[in-house]
Structure 1
Amino acid sequence: MTRLMVLGLLKTKPMSGYEIQQLLIKSQADSWAGILPGSIYHALKKMQTEGLVEINSIEKTGNRSKAIYKITTDGEMEFVKLLVESLQVSSVHLPSNLYTGLSFIQHLSKDEIIQSLQGQQAILEEQLEKQRSGIEIKRNHMPMDDVTELLFQNVFRQYELQIDLLKNLIRYYNNI
């Protein structure tokens, strides 16, 4: 996923590794795409060796210099290949940790169950808010097309669906 994301961002414009990293963090894309911020530099170096990206320019600021990368023709072909592959992989990922825990929930006390589910709910609500603020940051950095808007709305619904399940479970355990 890192390669696809980096190549896709470089397709929009040349960027430094730091700029890519910050854009992913600020827009919360690092969380839904499963990209570790530190993996950006490794991916850039590897893709440079493979001829998928190249240094477009070197910017100097005081004693520091940073490489600005751009995608190559081979990188564009790799991007299309990775993009097609990403669209063909199943996009449904069930919350296996939660489902496994629910399979054995009878081994906890009612209070432990409710407290654990409320903790999970709080985490998901916080993550949902970060995603919502992430879309605003992304809108400020680049134009948002209809597909990207639909993508974010789907991400929001995924969180809301899980939160609704947790609320229903909490209500259920409060009533037994």
Structure 2
Amino acid sequence: MSATRLLVLGVVRGFGRAHGYLVRAQLVTWGAENWANIKWGSLYHALRKLADEHLLTAAEGSPGRVDYEITARGEAEFFRLLRAALSEPAPRPDTLAAGLALLPALSRAEAVELLRARQRILCAAQDEMPSQFPGKPPHVRELHGLWAHTTASNLTWTQQLIDRLDAGGYVMADDPAARFGVAGSWLPPAE
């Protein structure tokens, strides 16, 4: 899965209508260049590709700009990617990071269920980890320790996020103050 694809769909969805510079500017405010593995030059390519796939529509905006809006197919793809990013441990951390950046697009209950699915997969992976690497050099056997520690840390973090969500942390899509997924959604909730 591409974190860029998820982020672009999510940002366009969040604004309702956006051009490439606005998408980039939003991702910069999130610090995405540090965690999303986005190549800024490929952002416009991603927008055009998503439009070619009928996930976004493209329309002439202000002079020299193309404005994009998410389609019904794009909305379905956005939620498919978001759900996968949160529930399926991926080898690349940018996928989870993109899912977390867009977490408020989900209801609280769905976000918790997706994270519980992530926990189940991590627990199964933990149970299937080899306890040793017979015949391998000692430094290679260190991989088991790394994998075990990483999985245990991931499980702890996931449970802590579930606990924060259960305690009412974050404004989620089904909360009264939610504004995610409509124009202006990047603004803080109305007070």
What TM-score results when the alignment is normalised by the length of structure 1?
A: 0.48
Max Rg structure: 1
Structure with more helix by fraction: 1
What TM-score results when the alignment is normalised by the length of structure 2?
A: 0.45
Structure with more strand by fraction: 1
